[in-house]
Structure 1
Amino acid sequence: MELSEVIRRRRMVRNYDPDRPVPAELVDKLLGYAVHAPSAGFSQGWEFLVLTSPEDRALFWSVTTPEDALPSGWLEGMGRAPVIIVPHSHRDAYLDRYAEPDKGWTDRDEARWPVPYWHIDTGMASLLVLLGAVDEGLGACFFGIPPSRTEAYRSAFEVPDAYTPIGAVTLGYRAGDKKSPSLKRGRRTSETVTHRGRWSTRTDL
């Protein structure tokens, strides 16, 4: 599939066919795409937890769903995904990398960073998984883990404190689902988000 078509077709899929497992080699292929994402200083501060067994997936939903959450079609459809990939950022990989001689920030001061690139780079790696899924005929959805459930998630899957889950990706073969109500907002065009030369200069003005 052409890249332009992959980008055009990409959307968040929230319902999956539970009777069509995703081959392990296909999951590995998508993770192979992920490690080609850009990263500051080639730090590559990302790690991925892959959950495929029914037990692990059930545990994931159990520990990440708030206790007061109401039953929903969203959760039911997402719960059918045969694969969950949890991308984690690793801040220390970046602080260590930029304390090396060719970078020279020997104090490892996090304040030197204008934004947390460890999160940004891991997000870019996650996007490559989403795009790769489209190219392979799969559906995928990136979503957040509620802050109140992060520690329960860490404990359940023995995730070290140095690694931060930036979200999670469900993966599988798409089943029929309803369009998100958010789509009624419409997609902003490039003209409405582009400023040229000065912020006040926008191409649609």
Structure 2
Amino acid sequence: MEFQEVVRRRRMVRRYDVERPMPAEVVDRILDNALRAPSAGFAQGFGYLVLDNQDDIARFRAAATPDEGPDKWLAAKIEAPLLIVVHSNKAAYLDRYAEPDKGHTDRAEDWWPVPYWDVDAGMSALLILQSAVDAGLGACFFGLPAERIAVYREQFGVPDGLLPIGAVSIGYSDEPPRDLSKRRKPATDLIHRGRWSS
């Protein structure tokens, strides 16, 4: 598929044909592409938990479901043949930028204008979304409730240094096509050239 077609077709898909298996080579390609995300200082401070069987995905739902208002969270009701939880690793960036070639002598984070470990993990998640579309699949990025992250970590043995920035559900779409063009904001509301104007 041409890149412009991938961009045009990318949308969040929330319902999948869970009976249709994911080809292993497609899953491997999606993960290989995720690893090519940019990372500050080539720190590569991201990691992925791949859940590709329904028992593990059910455990994820149970771990990610908050006690109050579970219907507000996609994580609580997701049903997909594949789930990839994307993590950022702040320590990898702090360690990398304390190396001599980066000009810092400590692991301080107060000089970072934004948390690039999360930004880079987010770019990695976008590559997962785009790779899924390129393979003819649907995908959806969604967050985990903050109060359930400790339960998720414990349930799947995720080290404390890794923060789940979100998960991507992937599968063959079981949704009718939708036209989102009427909901899309005009480019003039979002793009400003030369000077930000209202």
TM-score computed with the length of structure 1 as normaliser: 0.89
Cα shift readout 1:123-174 (whole Å, capped 9, x = no counterpart)? 0011001001001001100000000111110010011000000000101111
Name which of structure 1's ranges 114-123 and 99-108 shifts more when overlaid on structure 2: 99-108
Distance of 1:66 and 1:133 partners within structure 2: 28
Measured at CA, do residues 43 and 138 of structure 1 come closer, stay the same or move farther in structure 2, by a change above 3 Å?
same
Whether the aligned pair in 1 keeps the contact of 2:75 and 2:143 (CA below 8 Å) is no
Instruction: Count how many residue pairs are aligned between Structure 1 and Structure 2.
Output: 198
Give, in whole Å, the separation in 2 of the partners of 1:165 and 1:116: 14
Letter in structure 2 aligned against 1:171: I
Alignment gaps of 5+ in structure 2: none
Residues 75 and 175 from structure 1, CA distance in 2 versus in 1: closer, same or farther, beyond 3 angstroms?
farther
Secondary structure of the structure 2 residue equivalent to 1:171: strand
Residue 189 of structure 1 deviates from its aligned partner by 2.8
1:185 Cα offset (Å): 7.0
Partner Cα distance (1:69, 1:23) in 2:
35
Offset of residue 70 of structure 1: 5.2
Give the AA of the match of 1:186.
Answer: R
Alignment match, 1:109? 108
Secondary structure at the aligned position of 2:170 is classed as strand
- The structural deviation recorded for 1:6 is 0.6
Query: 1:21-77: CA deviations, max 9, x gaps?
Result: 1112211110111111111111110000001122111100011011234568x6787
SS in 2 for 1:166: strand
% identical aligned pairs: 54
Structure 2 equivalent of residue 62 of structure 1: 62
- Uncovered stretches (5+) of structure 1, i.e. residues with no partner: none
- Corresponding residue SS for 1:110: coil
Instruction: Check whether the contact 2:36–2:124 (CA below 8 A) recurs between aligned residues.
Output: yes
